[in-house]
Amino acid sequence: MADELGGKVAVVTGAASGIGLATTDALLAAGSRVVLVDRDARALQAVCAARGACAMPLVIDLLDPAACAALVPRALALAGQIDILHANAGLYVGGDLVDADTAAIDRMLNLNINVVMKNVHDVLPHMIGRKTGDIVVTSSLAAHFPTPWEPVYAASKWAINCFVQTVRRQVFRHGIRVGSVSPGPVVSALLADWPPEKLQEAKASGSLMEASEVAEVIRFMLTRPRGMTIRDVVLMPSNFDL
């Protein structure tokens, strides 16, 4: 329905491409206004210019602690309220652990875990004060299966899966729903770091999903009656296990 989320304001991180952009489009189509958060100023301006006044750009490098702490105040200054936070920004480190760059590990763990926790922490007082809100975190199939070719990435998603499930139990009494979406491999820039043999295998078997398919699941989660929480959705191509 075109007005399922009418009057709502969503904040989407990592919104200039991939799942974040697809979610933005799904939420705009459902009637919400969206604050798009990304560090890529040029891409963000182009995306928002093509989507009209309901798409509001907010250029932030979430790995900068001061900039990250300013996300919620700046989003509120732009839009006046936050009904939905989609904590989507993330990085990928795959391959054998022994070959990984430790600086890349630090960067990925900071964005995939610490930034998500800080973003959720910072938005909760606003949502608690309004006695309503939705938080959706982009997790991964790797949060549910010890994927041998991506131990660092999988560990970050296992951590955030635990975070989502525990925070949900703390805040549901305030009218706030917290859930995660855990897709298998999605066509996005993150796959650029996949081991070449795994990427080729996934392409050959048709074991990749489109970002729009994940976004549709997120829209479904957000449009359920307030008394229902979809705490986690695991989705993957039907032939992924081949």
Catalytic residues: 153
Reading across the β-sheet that carries 84-87, which strands appear in turn? Answer: 55-59, 33-38, 9-13, 84-87, 133-138, 176-183, 232-235
Q: Residue 134 in contact with residue 183, Cβ under 8 Å?
A: no
Instruction: List the structure tokens of 137.
Output: 């975190």
Encoded amino acid at 219, one letter: R
Query: Cβ contacts of residue 94 below 8 Å, gap of 6+?
Result: 149, 150, 152, 153, 193, 194, 195, 198
CA dist 205 and 66 (Å) reads: 44
Q: What angle do CA 118, 130, 53 make, to 5 degrees?
A: 75
- Strand 33-38 vs strand 9-13: parallel, antiparallel, or unpaired? parallel
